[in-house]
Amino acid sequence: MISFTGLSAFPITPASPDGRVDPAALRALIAPLVTAGVDSIGLLGSTGTYAYLSREERRRALDAALDEAGGRVPIIVGIGALRTDEAVALAQDARAAGAAAGLLAAMSYTPLTDEEVFEHFLAVATGSGLPICIYDNPGTTHFRFTPSLVGRLAQVPGIHALKSPAPDPISVAGHLDALRRAVPADFRLGFSGDWNAAEALLAGGEAWYSVAAGLFPKPCLAILRAAQAGDAARMRALDARVQPLWDLFREFTSLRVIYAAAEHLGLCRTDPPRPILPLPEPVRHRVAEVVDRLGLA
């Protein structure tokens, strides 16, 4: 069973303009993550543009990632879909392929109620047998998981963890406490939002679901290990060093910045799926300057 702890690195998914995944380019992004020793790889998350890919292309991406990881690093794969039956099918695909877990968001066009989300997750967990991590991503889904709903879902067999946006440092302790009181002791609480993740780890978060780690695993691992050791001074110093990258993430979104960084480093030649546009040239120059100045690669 995957632990849902430590550093989970979320790479982009190189694909053609018509949504055809490039397996070779994806494997080239996965290989350094395996070598660096990340605790898991988050394939087809929001950074991996899962919502823009067909079921067939998602499976192509998963097969390539599993082949490259070779069982050395567990793969958590995005299985979100607008329809419950489609999410069940994607979860079944993931389990059959050998993914360690599924990352399930509350995707919808029509706003969902708590009960609708509960039934959706229940159907996917029971209909697939795949271990599930709840993906709380209100910035894209416009649905927020409350501690009460997380607590209900944590009682469902097969739902083991939560990935939620890290709140600001002032709020994180209270946020974690409310969640911890709602879930069993073995239910794992992890955070995304790289710019606040370090303080969330120090406050007791058990996993960091990181966009930056999908391209720059080493500095992210250093931050994580310092937090795990309780070395707040070192953790904050390491985190402050990459603050220019966090600033770019917050200003232009992590997805767009990571695409620009990957292209600057010559790792793959791909743009985000339309209608998302690449960053303008002056901003791409800023991204390149930060990557080079910080020596992130």
| Active-site amino acid positions | 135, 163
CA-CA distance, 134 to 284, in Å (whole number)? 33
Is the link from the previous residue into 275 a cis peptide, with omega within 30 of 0?
yes
DSSP state of 213: G
Backbone angles phi, psi at 165, to 5 degrees: -65, 135
Backbone angles phi, psi at 94, to 5 degrees: -65, -45
CA-CA distance, 251 to 231, in Å (whole number)? 29
Buried b (16+ CB within 10 A) or exposed e, 97-106: eebbbbbbbb
What is the residue type of 16? S
Q: How far is CA 66 from CA 40, 51, 77, 189, 230, in A?
A: 12, 20, 10, 25, 33
CA-CA distance, 18 to 100, in Å (whole number)? 29
Backbone angles phi, psi at 71, to 5 degrees: 80, 0
